[in-house]
Structure 1
Amino acid sequence: MEIYNKNVYKNRWIILAVVVLLPFMGTLDSTIVNVALPVMVNIFSVTMSSIQLIVICYLITIVSTILLFGRLGDIKGKSIVFNLGLLVFTIGSLFCALSKNFTYLLFFRIVQAIGASAAMANNQGIITQVFPANERGRALGISGTFLALGTMIGPPLGGIIISYLSWHYIFLINIPVGIIGTAIGFKVLPHKSNEKKEDIDFIGAIIFGISVVLLFYSLINGQTVGYDNNMIRISFIAAIILFIIFIRIEGKLKYPLLDLSLFKNSLFTVGILCTFICYASINSNNIVQPFYLENVLKMTPSFAGMIMMISPVLITVISPFSGYLSDKIGSEFLTFLGLILIGIGMGLIATLNENSNIYQLIVYIVFIAIGNGLFLPPNNSLVMSSASSDKLGIAGSINAFVRNLGQSSGVAMATMLLYSFMSMKMGEKVLGYIEGRDDVFMYGMRYVYVCSAIICFVGVIVTYIRLRKKKLNRKI
């Protein structure tokens, strides 16, 4: 671990504010366009499945590059990689807002995602370096809360912006925040005194990046051309083979991108698995719910945004209480209870239909929000505290990678299930909302939420087994 001077320690809460800022904005930008998607379909004259590339390209870019940026941070210095990431993210946001067509917007979303990835890979490592052990859990809990809030606040904020301004402001709001954050970051973040003489596994990074792109290409394009298409099958098989090669390469390297030894700790492994499950569920909900609110319930984007604001408000209230409780009674029971509530909420939303009362939906959203508030801070602290002090930076980048993988997988899973079951209901290929056929959308949506509930309860079972083993070990 790097040793920093007294000024760094004195400024640690300012440093926390800066390093939480970009991951918050980064996760915000992964979801802020969700409510705007139905409107942007008409603006850019593309299909509903095509417009979701704005979300998917952003998330896939982060997943593909985050391990590389985590490793670069270990060698070149976490602060410099973080600051450069914040700068690139801000520039990418500006050009997203200035984009004149859909192709340019997609390209600059990728640029924006590269910046977000560089910062997300290193923020938790910076926190662990500047905070003493007795404050680290609290700081990581705050970081985890803001990451979740970014994911949750995105859709309602996007709804308000698209109702009163234009889609350009979804990206323009990042610019003043990014400029201020970059200026403060270069001034207060700790500077690395010397550079490590270690190799970077660029070959592994390329193999891993290609495997991620091929995997999501096959999952997403399969909706359009069919999963029996030869190109889709080849891409899927190639993605699996490349990922296996990547794992074998990493296992033999002295300085790997992905330190597999961390997964020998069951607390870390189960915590990482539950992180994936939670964020996959959150994002599957975030991608589908705006279409339900706007197309089926006929709400305006601003009113839909207000409904979706319920969750982040509750999480903001519950998360500090959850973090305090985890210090008193431990993190594991809270993560267990949180996943149960998320699973119940997802299952209840699956029972809705086109004639359901809005108050029913609000009650079910409250279940999910309370579950997230109870789960996220304790689980984040659990994952980081289960790693040894010399691997905290690597653990942070893996945690960030899995979080974004969960978000990407949630979007891919939701769109795949939604359009597959809508097509089944119609008896023909469906790639968007069908006017006058709310029942078709509800049929597909129901299976999205059923699947989300199932994966949450898988997490509940795994967490229960871990809790039971811990209890038995205490008796012995």
Structure 2
Amino acid sequence: MGNKLTQTELPPKEKQPSFWLPLIAIIIGAFVAILNNSLINVAIPKLMTVFGSTQDKIQWVLTGYMLASGVIIPITGYAGDRLGYKRFFLLALSVFTFGAFLCSIAWSDTTLIIARVIQGLGGGVIMPISMAIIYKIVPRDQIGMALGLWGISAMVAPAIGPTLSGYLIEWFSWRFLFVINIPVALFALFMVSILLKETEVDKTKTFDYMGFFLVATSAATLLYALSNGNSVGWRSFEIVCLLYIAVSTGILLIWVEKGKSNPIIDLDLFKNFTFTLSVVVSSLVTVGLFGGIFLMPIFLQNIQQMSAVDTGLLLMPQAIAMAIMMPISGKLFDKIGVIPLGLVGLTLLSGLSYALHALTIDTPHSWLITILVFRGIGMGLCMMPISTAGMNAVEPRKVGNASSLSNLVRQVAGSMAIAILTMIMQKRASFHGSHIAENITLDNPAIFQVGESSGLSFSTIGSMIQLEATTRGIGDTFWVSSLPLFLCIPLVFLFRKRKEQSFANEK
């Protein structure tokens, strides 16, 4: 029975004789979508200066893209089945490319924000649709290697983005942040159109309008609340209302989607233990990973006064380590499974994330690079195997829905991680600042002696206190971000338990 099931899951070889060239084309398309966002993240101050905009308004260049992508992700499964996954991928990449072109010719902050929303409508579904296509064209016994290669785009693009962005802004123009995507995206469109064969189309599938409205409302309000909660205030009327809408529409979504034949979000997927376990562990790992993605640039640029370009160069070895390990871990996954890779990778990742809590103002870069490289090896070992194990447990006909659901959950987890870690960092920095200031008083003779001997003013001493307090706050936040990673280690063993139960049921 096991052999028969495996054979039915494999794509017909006569329909797709070779998947490597189509896979490369798909990876290029996914890479350019992720790279675009990492280019823009560090360019916000420049854009604010160019357009004479305010911080709050120009931030919508990021927020608009995030909300558009969060709203559009749920339709991945339906659109792929109804239109064909190749056609939908080409449509999404075309919309993304058109949005990039509009961004490159934007003449005001408002037109740039509108263009970014259009870009997000295309770019938001590129990752889930590309993952679904991989499952359509790659045999299951080689899926680990394929997803390992595909995962390089998700890990390497954010690492090279800041460095490339800095060079483009310094030597060319901010418009090249968008222009650079267009030829790469056009090349990916051409490659996919000639190399990838269309998947089966289900023209009888109907669109779930109510489900889409509810999931789009819930996702948009939740993502917006998470991204603005720290700046507006978590107890403000605006954020409380948004969270209420997000939760209430989410509950209503569960009730509406229950028992539907073609739901926009297939919540029955959570009845699959392995898939659910994979989504939970992947979300916890995402929370831990965002500690490094979010905190390390703050430490390097704000504390050690490094430029965006130099920050990107320092983080580059970590990205290279991830890029090397991902296809290796994919190949090993096909042979030994998720548990050994998950245990080794998560142990490295959690332990070294915890080690970063010891950061100081003058932490040497040699130590930091060493820690980050081995942390990158841990990421490369565990990320894709954990995700692949869950997707492999899903029926082939539900792969599109599973891909969109897991990507949506991870996006929410990432936004939640940034919101929580930002709040912790601010509170701990304030705590440390108050604690340090308690020992620095006007009647303390040591303060005057230090000031007279070194020529330091009280304002300079205050700046030093703020730097030290922020550094300690970042260290404390790294400690917190390592906790979900440590929690994932025992959860990995549950993959074996479920595998043994499934084998027993088959017998």
Deviates more, 1:398-407 or 1:49-58: 49-58
CA distance in 1, matches of 2:294, 2:358: 18
SS across alignment from 1:33 = helix
**CA contact under 8 A between 1:37 and 1:52: conserved in structure 2?**
yes
- For residues 149-176 of structure 1, what are the alpha-carbon distances to aligned partners after superposition, in whole Å with 9 as ceiling and x for unaligned? 2343333433443444333222221100
TM-score under structure 2 length normalisation: 0.83
What residue in structure 2 maps to residue 463 of structure 1? 492
**CA contact under 8 A between 2:63 and 2:224: conserved in structure 1?**
no
Deviates more, 1:405-414 or 1:364-373: 405-414
Q: Would the alpha carbon gap of residues 95 and 345 (structure 1) be closer, same or farther in structure 2, given more than 3 Å must change? A: farther
**CA contact under 8 A between 1:279 and 1:403: conserved in structure 2?**
yes
CA distance in 1, matches of 2:227, 2:433: 20
- For residues 336-384 of structure 1, what are the alpha-carbon distances to aligned partners after superposition, in whole Å with 9 as ceiling and x for unaligned? 3222222222222222122222223212212320111101232232122
What residue in structure 1 maps to residue 220 of structure 2? 213
CA distance in 1, matches of 2:201, 2:370: 54
SS across alignment from 2:305 = coil
Deviates more, 1:168-177 or 1:317-326: 317-326
Q: Would the alpha carbon gap of residues 356 and 4 (structure 1) be closer, same or farther in structure 2, given more than 3 Å must change? A: closer
**CA contact under 8 A between 1:159 and 1:304: conserved in structure 2?**
no
What residue in structure 1 maps to residue 442 of structure 2? none
1:112 aligns with 2:141: no
What residue in structure 2 maps to residue 439 of structure 1? 468
Name the amino acid aligned to 2:162: P
CA distance in 1, matches of 2:208, 2:68: 18
CA distance in 1, matches of 2:267, 2:183: 39
Aligned mate of 2:89, from 67, 79, 82: 82
- For residues 116-154 of structure 1, what are the alpha-carbon distances to aligned partners after superposition, in whole Å with 9 as ceiling and x for unaligned? 123223212222222233333332332233323234333
1:203 aligns with 2:205: no
1:178 aligns with 2:185: yes
1:25 aligns with 2:32: yes
1:14 aligns with 2:43: no
Q: Would the alpha carbon gap of residues 389 and 221 (structure 1) be closer, same or farther in structure 2, given more than 3 Å must change? A: closer
Q: Would the alpha carbon gap of residues 2 and 385 (structure 1) be closer, same or farther in structure 2, given more than 3 Å must change? A: closer
**CA contact under 8 A between 2:425 and 2:477: conserved in structure 1?**
yes
- For residues 15-42 of structure 1, what are the alpha-carbon distances to aligned partners after superposition, in whole Å with 9 as ceiling and x for unaligned? 1122222222222223233343455555
CA distance in 1, matches of 2:201, 2:191: 22
Name the amino acid aligned to 1:118: V
What residue in structure 2 maps to residue 430 of structure 1? none
Name the amino acid aligned to 2:78: R
Question: Which blocks of at least 5 consecutive residues in structure 1 are unaligned?
Answer: 428-433
Question: Which blocks of at least 5 consecutive residues in structure 2 are unaligned?
Answer: 1-7, 435-461
CA distance in 2, matches of 1:42, 1:426: 31
CA distance in 2, matches of 1:410, 1:63: 16
What residue in structure 2 maps to residue 453 of structure 1? 482
CA distance in 2, matches of 1:74, 1:456: 35
SS across alignment from 1:252 = coil
What residue in structure 1 maps to residue 164 of structure 2? 157
Q: Would the alpha carbon gap of residues 212 and 426 (structure 1) be closer, same or farther in structure 2, given more than 3 Å must change? A: farther
Aligned mate of 1:358, from 360, 365, 369: 365
Q: How does 1:227-238 map to 2 (within 5 A)?
A: 227-238=234-245
CA distance in 2, matches of 1:45, 1:282: 34
- For residues 229-283 of structure 1, what are the alpha-carbon distances to aligned partners after superposition, in whole Å with 9 as ceiling and x for unaligned? 2232222122111111112222221111222222222221111122222333333
What residue in structure 1 maps to residue 100 of structure 2? 93
Q: Would the alpha carbon gap of residues 58 and 423 (structure 1) be closer, same or farther in structure 2, given more than 3 Å must change? A: farther
What residue in structure 2 maps to residue 291 of structure 1? 298
> Alignment length, in residue pairs?
470
Q: Would the alpha carbon gap of residues 89 and 185 (structure 1) be closer, same or farther in structure 2, given more than 3 Å must change? A: same
CA distance in 2, matches of 1:255, 1:110: 28
TM-score under structure 1 length normalisation: 0.88
Name the amino acid aligned to 1:244: I
Q: How does 1:243-254 map to 2 (within 5 A)?
A: 243-254=250-261
Q: Would the alpha carbon gap of residues 159 and 275 (structure 1) be closer, same or farther in structure 2, given more than 3 Å must change? A: farther
Q: Would the alpha carbon gap of residues 370 and 137 (structure 1) be closer, same or farther in structure 2, given more than 3 Å must change? A: closer
CA distance in 2, matches of 1:3, 1:367: 35
1:123 aligns with 2:130: yes
1:142 aligns with 2:142: no
Name the amino acid aligned to 2:480: C
CA distance in 2, matches of 1:388, 1:5: 16
| Structure 1 vs Structure 2 CA RMSD | 3.2
Deviates more, 1:316-325 or 1:215-224: 215-224
1:408 aligns with 2:415: yes
Q: How does 1:37-48 map to 2 (within 5 A)?
A: 37=44, 39-40=46-47, 42-43=49-50
**CA contact under 8 A between 1:422 and 1:444: conserved in structure 2?**
yes
What residue in structure 2 maps to residue 316 of structure 1? 323
SS across alignment from 1:10 = coil
Aligned mate of 2:405, from 398, 405, 428: 398
Q: CA deviation at 1:72?
A: 1.3
Name the amino acid aligned to 1:399: S
**CA contact under 8 A between 1:35 and 1:290: conserved in structure 2?**
no
Q: Would the alpha carbon gap of residues 158 and 73 (structure 1) be closer, same or farther in structure 2, given more than 3 Å must change? A: same
What residue in structure 1 maps to residue 440 of structure 2? none
Q: CA deviation at 1:471?
A: 7.9
Q: Would the alpha carbon gap of residues 358 and 337 (structure 1) be closer, same or farther in structure 2, given more than 3 Å must change? A: same
Q: Considering only CA atoms, is the larger Rg found in Structure 1 or Structure 2? A: 2
Name the amino acid aligned to 1:306: L
Q: Would the alpha carbon gap of residues 309 and 165 (structure 1) be closer, same or farther in structure 2, given more than 3 Å must change? A: farther
Q: CA deviation at 1:296?
A: 1.6
**CA contact under 8 A between 2:75 and 2:404: conserved in structure 1?**
no
